[in-house]
Amino acid sequence: MNKFANKSGKLVFKNAHGQCGNGIEVIKTDGLSQQKIIAQLKKGGNDLVEEFVVQHPDLMRLSPSGLNTVRIITQVNNLGKVDIIGARLRITINSSVDNLAAGNIAAPINVKTGKLEGPGVYSDITREEEYLHPVTKTEIVGFKIPFWNEAIDMVIAAALNNKNNRSVGWDVAISESGPELIEGNHNWCKLLWQLPVKMGLKPLLEGYLIK
């Protein structure tokens, strides 16, 4: 029996210091051995292996081309508690990665309801906003993120686990059984934070400066 087999039948190879989805490989587990994994990691310049996440059917309906992750930004306040200062859904458009840099869109999430409260926007501000997914034609505004409360609880617990970095952008995948934490980013992208809500948010961060 293949010890690397899993429900998805795939593994994801990535670099711990990678940016914007560059260099990520999706490998089928059939015939994989430890030696083959090590060789492929070295060949691709990667150093992390993750199980491929099968996303929730609702997110598959929205966009099946890639994993659509939620970026939730936490900020440890001056009382040692965690505030959620932003949440965005990164939506793939004929892409295996969901980063804005790859030509995808991002939409703002209402932190209280878990619903998308605005259209999807591109990093290229000359392009029109997307109220319907350009491929699946699924409505973006009003789309509800499954397991939203559980996702919020998870990132708050993660932020409290180590407060050395007071501000983290967590990438969260949503599977059929609940949220899964993909990674935490110290450089969580000011464009992804501000473009979907069409406003500058620097004053919000300045409020957390330790006097």
Phi then psi dihedrals of residue 73, to 5 deg: -100, 120
User: pLDDT tens, 8-43?
Assistant: 767 778 787 766 666 677 777 777 778 878 888 887
**Calpha distance 120→118 (Å, rounded):** 7
Residue that has been written with the tokens 């292996």 in this structure: 49
Q: What is the pLDDT of residue 124?
A: 95
> Strand pairing partners for 115?
144
Which residue from 39, 41, 46 is spatially nearest to 22, judged by alpha carbons? 46
Average pLDDT, the chain: 90
Q: What is the pLDDT of residue 211?
A: 61
Q: What is the pLDDT of residue 159?
A: 97
Domains and CATH numbers, the chain: 10-51 (no CATH), 57-206 (3.30.470.20)
Contact 92, 67 (CB under 8 A): yes
User: pLDDT tens, 33-76?
Assistant: 788 788 888 878 887 777 777 899 999 999 999 999 999 999 99
**Calpha distance 142→110 (Å, rounded):** 10
Q: pTM of the prediction?
A: 0.84
**Mean pLDDT of the 117-129 span:** 97
